Chains A and B, each alone.
Chain A
Amino acid sequence: MKLRGLGVSPGVAVGRALVFRQRTFDVRCRVSPEGTERELARLEQARELSRQQLREIRDRIARSAGPDHAYLFEAQLLMLDDPMLVDRAAAFIREDRLNAEWAVRRAAEELTALFDEAADPYLRERRGDVADVTGRLRVNLRPRSAPTEILRGVEGPLVLVADELAPSTAAQIDWRRVIGFATDVGSWTYHTAILARSLHIPAVVGLHDASARILAGATVAIDGTTGDVFVDPSSGELEQVQAQRTRQAAAERALDEYRHLPAVTLDGVRVRLEANIELPDEVAVARAHGAEGIGLFRSEFLLVRAAGMTPIAAAEDAQYDVYRSLVERMAGGRVTVRTFDVGEDELYPGSGAADTSRGVLGLRGIRLSLAHRDFFKTQLRALLRAAGHGSLRVMFPFVTGADEIRAARAVMAEAAEELRVRGASPPPVPVGIMIEVPSAALTADLLAAEADFFSVGTNDLIQCCLAVDRTDDRVSRLYEPRHPAVLRILRLVSRSARRSGIPLALCGEMAADPGTLVLLVGLGVTELSMVPSAIPLAKQVIRGLRADDARRAAGRALRGRTVADVERAIETVRLDGVSIQEGSNS
C-alpha cells in the first residue's frame, strides 16, 4: 500500500509502524459540554463490549469447568452494571466533564480505596476482580493497542504513525528509537512538522486516515521529501526509497563546493539566496549552506506550547531574545521576520477550532494579528527592539489590500511609541508584505506605495490562484507551479515591483526547484529564499545559467497554453555543467 501526504521534513526513514491514536488513547482531559455526550456514548460502548466478552468467558468456563466455576464472571458482569462503577464514571463525565478514560480510572480508584480499607482478607482479594473489570473497560475504551505496549515487544527502528501529534507528546518520544513519523493531520506549518525539521527527523503529514489504515507492526517507509509513505513495501519499493536516500546523500556531497561561492549567472547577474527557517538554531544550518540572509523566519514556532510551559510569544522579552539572537547569529546578514501566520485555533488551542483544518481563506495571518491587537503589538515591540542589534526587516503575511498595511503600520507606530515612552529609541525598520493572495498580486503597483518591500509566497499564492488545497489529496495534483496563470501573476508582480522601484523577493518551493528557479530568474526575480538544504543546488544552477537564456525561456513559457508548454520552454535552457532534469531529481 502506498499513501501520499505532504513531506514536511526531508529524509527517508524505514521502520516498524508504531500506531498511536492520540484521540482515543488513555489521555486525561476535560471535554467540552457538547463532548460529554460522546464520552458517555463511548463509555456505554465499552461497557457493552465488556459485557459480551464476559458472557463469552462465563459460558466457556461453564462448559469446560462446570457452572460453579463460572460464578466469578457472573460477579464481574454484575460489577460492570454496578452503579458504583460505570454509573459513577458517567457522573464524572457529566459533572466534571472528564473524558471517559479518566472517568473510569477515577471511579476505579475510588472503589480500590474502599476495598483496601476493608479489614476482611476475602474482600481485599475481591479487589482483584474490581481491577479486572475496570481494566477491561479501559482496554475496550481504546480501539487499538497502546503504543507503549507495542514498543516493548518490537525490535528495530520505529516509524510513528499517529492521528495527530501534539508537541507535548512529541517531546516525550524517544527519537532515537522512533526515526520518523507520519500523521493524519498537519501542514507545513504544523507545530510538530516544525519540530521534526529541527530534530532532523523525516516526517510526512496530512495523510488523512493513515493511522486507521496502517496496522501497528507493519513495515513503513516514509520519504519526507516527496511525501510518499509505503506500507509493507515490496523489495522494489524499498530499493526505490533506499536509492532516494543514497541519491540525496550523494547530491549533497557533490554540491559541497558550491556552498560558499556567490550566486552569479554566467552573464553576471547577481542573485541573492537566502534561507527559510523556523527555529533560531537553524541559522547555523542556513549559514553552512551558504545563505546570505534569512529571507523568511516563520515566527510560529514561538507559539508552540511545550508541555506545561507558556509559549515564548506570550512575553515580549522572550520574543526579543529570539529575534536578537537571530540577527546577531546572522552576523550582518539580513533577517526578514514574518509576523505570526496562524489560524485562531493555533493562537488559542482548545478554542474548539482545532478539529477543523486551518482554512486557507479564514481568519489568519495579518487578519488575525489585527484582530488581536495587543498580542500583535507585543510581537512588534520585540521586533523593533531586536532591530537595534542587526539588519532586520518585518513582513506581514496574507495581506489583501492597502487598508491592512495601513492598519498594521499604525499598530507598529504605536509599538514604537510605547518603546519611546520607555526611553528606548527604536530604529526605523523596513516593513514589507507577503504577496500570497491574488488580490495583493493584482494590486502590487498600488501596494508598492504602502510597503517597503515585497516577498512573494508562492505556496499560498499558487493555492489561492489555482483554488487548490494541497492537503486535499483528491485535488493536490492540480497544484502546479508551472501553470500559465502562476507565471502571469508572477510576471505582473515582478513588473509592478520594478516600475515602483520596490525590492522584490520570493520565498517558496518554486525557488528550490531548478526548473522553476530558471523561470524566476528569467522573470527578473533575483532575491530568493528557500529551505537551507536547497541553496547549494540553486547556486549550481545559477552559476551555470545565462540570465539571457532564462529571460528567453520565460518569454516562451509565458506564451505557452499548458503546463506541458511551460515545461518544454524550461527544457530549452542549457545549463553549464548540469541539466535541469538531473537537478530536479535530487
Chain B
Amino acid sequence: MTSRPVRITNPLGLHARAAARFVHAAGAFASQVCVAFGPRVMDGKSIMGLLLLAAAQGSEILISAEGPDEREAVEALCQLVVRGFDS
C-alpha cells in the first residue's frame, strides 16, 4: 500500500465538482483508493464518500492506494489536489 498526505488548497474544499474530478481520476486506476480525513476513511472512487468527508480548504487528507498501480495512483491524485482540482 502506498499513502501520502496532501493539503487541500482550493477555496471550496472537496466539494461536488472537486470530488467529481477526483473520482474520475481515481477511476482510471486499477488499484483500490482510499481517502482519510480525521477519523473517517472513504472509498476514493465514491463521490458521496468524498463529499461526506467535508474536507474544507486547508484540510490535510491522506490518500492511499493498494493494487498494481498504487504508486502512480497516489502520485496522480496528490497532484490533482495540489493543482486545486484543475478548476
Contact = CB atoms under 8 A, between A and B. Distances in A.
Interface of A: 71-72, 74-75, 78-79, 82-85, 111, 114-115, 118-120, 122-123, 126, 129-130
B46 A114 contact: no
B49 A82 contact: yes
Given A83-B43, A120-B54, A123-B54, A75 B49 contact: no
Contacts of B20: 71, 74-75, 78
Which 4 pairs across A and B sit closest by C-beta, in order of nearness? Answer: A78-B47, A120-B54, A75-B16, A75-B20
A112 to B, nearest CB: 11
A85 B43 CA distance: 13
A71 B45 contact: no
B19 A82 contact: no
Contacts of A126: 16, 51
Nearest to A129: B16
Contact of B52 (A74, A83, A115, A129): A115
Contact of B47 (A75, A118, A122, A123): A75
A65 to B, nearest CB: 15
Most buried by A among B20, B24, B47: B47
Interface of B: 15-17, 19-20, 23-24, 43, 45-49, 51-52, 54, 56
Contacts of B16: 71-72, 75, 126, 129
27 contacts: A75-B16, A75-B20, A75-B47, A78-B20, A78-B23, A78-B47, A79-B47, A79-B48, A82-B46, A82-B47, A82-B48, A83-B43, A83-B45, A83-B46, A84-B43, A84-B46, A85-B48, A114-B48, A114-B52, A115-B52, A119-B54, A122-B15, A123-B51, A123-B52, A123-B54, A126-B51, A130-B48
Contacts, number: 48
Best-surrounded residue of B16, B17, B20 (most CB of chain A within 10 A) = B16
Interface of A is mostly: helix
A118 B37 CA distance: 14
A481 to B, nearest CB: 66
Contacts of A84: 43, 46, 48-49
Nearest to A77: B20
A78 B44 CA distance: 12
A120 B55 CA distance: 10
Nearest to B56: A120
Nearest to B47: A78
A120 B56 CA distance: 10
Contacts of A83: 43, 45-46
A115 B53 CA distance: 10
Contacts of A74: 20
A502 B19 CA distance: 86
B14 to A, nearest CB: 10
B52 A71 contact: no
A449 B16 CA distance: 84
Contacts of B45: 83
A71 B17 contact: yes
Contacts of A129: 16
Nearest to A130: B48
A307 B45 CA distance: 44
A126 B49 CA distance: 12
A72 B51 CA distance: 13
A251 to B, nearest CB: 67
Given A71-B20, A85-B48, 6 more contacts: A71-B17, A75-B17, A84-B49, A114-B48, A114-B52, A118-B52
A317 to B, nearest CB: 55
A289 B19 CA distance: 75
Contacts of B47: 75, 78-79, 82
A74 B85 CA distance: 15
Contacts of B15: 122
Contacts of A82: 46-49
For B20, B23, B49, B51, the residue with the greatest tally of chain A CB atoms inside 10 Å of its CB is B51
Nearest to B16: A75
A421 B23 CA distance: 76
Contacts of A75: 16-17, 19-20, 47
Contacts of A122: 15, 54
A85 B48 CA distance: 9
B53 to A, nearest CB: 9
